[in-house]
Structure 1
Amino acid sequence: MSGDRSFTRGEITGALTFVVLAVAIGISSYRAGLNISGGTGGAGMTASAAPAPVNGQDLYASNCAGCHGAQAQGGVGPGLAETKAWADADFRQAVLHGQAPGGRTLSPVMPRFGDTGLGGEAPTEEQIDAIHAYVKGL
């Protein structure tokens, strides 16, 4: 028995057909990926256009809990049960400027977050309202 084996015409045709079909499928898949991703190449990813929702619990934990307690029960600062009944505008005024409803000035120990910011940036009304909503839910 000899070790020489040659391919038949049918085997060669089948192999070439397979290669041509594989290349055609690969090219069409790549082009489909370009169309899906806006023509920038491959299967691209884009950032979400909508900002992440503000998380009042996280903001409270990182800015308020150290003084007012994890459950707003008080600690270095007073408990915040009274603030649950405040209007959002009154709560913002207290947090941002240290002025409680009725014109009462809060302790100088209370940061004026309008001046100091939250995490180094000026706080937004949405952030302060989210903290207030979180406190109301405790």
Structure 2
Amino acid sequence: MGGADSISGRELAAFGAFALLALAVGFGSYRAGHQLAGSQGAAGMSAPLANAPVNGATLYASACAGCHGAAGTGGIGPALQDTAAWTDAQFATAVLRGLDDQGRELSAVMPRFEQAGLDGAPPTAEQVAALHAFIRALKSP
């Protein structure tokens, strides 16, 4: 084996196992949060609920908190304090397509909600705006 700077096969295997475990926990957290929020999609809602204003806190709890933490301080996913300063268009691009404010690809673990959906249906502009408003409020004292 090499000197102090080399990585052993055992360390590499442990890192791989940890990465897989983190991915599994993140995916499980996302799915569990989504199920706990009782997401059925607009088709399963009664008329009064379908017309109710979008609640950013509820959307965040069901779709984001599992990875980004309840207060947006990070966990499996990064902290979200920087995204509070993004424009609505930059935030929407990150949430819907998985691209950051510089157009770089976000982690593969980050759902592309344009395809994955929110609450069992394609996300609306109102939902994305409510999420961004909630994250901005998290940053405020």
TM-score by length of 1: 0.64
Alignment partners' CA distance in 2, 1:72 and 1:103: 21
Alignment partners' CA distance in 2, 1:109 and 1:86: 21
- Please report how far the alpha carbon of residue 103 of structure 1 lies from its aligned counterpart in structure 2 after TM superposition: 1.3
Aligned to 1:75: 75
Aligned to 2:108: 108
1:79-106 deviations in whole A, cap 9, x for unaligned? 0000010001100000000011111110
Flag as ranges the 4+ runs of structure 1 deviating above 2 A: none
Query: Taking CA–CA contacts closer than 8 Å with sequence separation of 6 or more, which of the two structures ends up with the larger relative contact order?
Result: 2
Alignment partners' CA distance in 2, 1:70 and 1:99: 22
Aligned to 1:26: none
Find the structure with the greater CA-based Rg: 1
Count residues in correspondence: 92
The residue identity in structure 2 corresponding to 1:59 is: L
Unaligned runs of 5+ in 1: 1-46
Aligned to 1:126: 126
- Please report how far the alpha carbon of residue 120 of structure 1 lies from its aligned counterpart in structure 2 after TM superposition: 1.3
- Please report how far the alpha carbon of residue 56 of structure 1 lies from its aligned counterpart in structure 2 after TM superposition: 0.2
Aligned to 2:56: 56
- Please report how far the alpha carbon of residue 73 of structure 1 lies from its aligned counterpart in structure 2 after TM superposition: 0.3
* 1:24-63 correspondence runs (5 A): 51-63=51-63
Aligned to 1:94: 94
Alignment partners' CA distance in 2, 1:54 and 1:102: 28
- Please report how far the alpha carbon of residue 70 of structure 1 lies from its aligned counterpart in structure 2 after TM superposition: 0.1
The residue identity in structure 2 corresponding to 1:132 is: H
**Cα RMSD (Å):** 1.6
- Please report how far the alpha carbon of residue 119 of structure 1 lies from its aligned counterpart in structure 2 after TM superposition: 1.8
The residue identity in structure 1 corresponding to 2:69 is: G
Q: Secondary structure at the match of 1:110?
A: coil
1:51-100 deviations in whole A, cap 9, x for unaligned? 11100000000000000000000000000000010001100000000011
The residue identity in structure 1 corresponding to 2:77 is: G
Tell me the percent identity.
58
Alignment partners' CA distance in 1, 2:118 and 2:103: 24
1:84 equivalent to 2:84? Answer yes
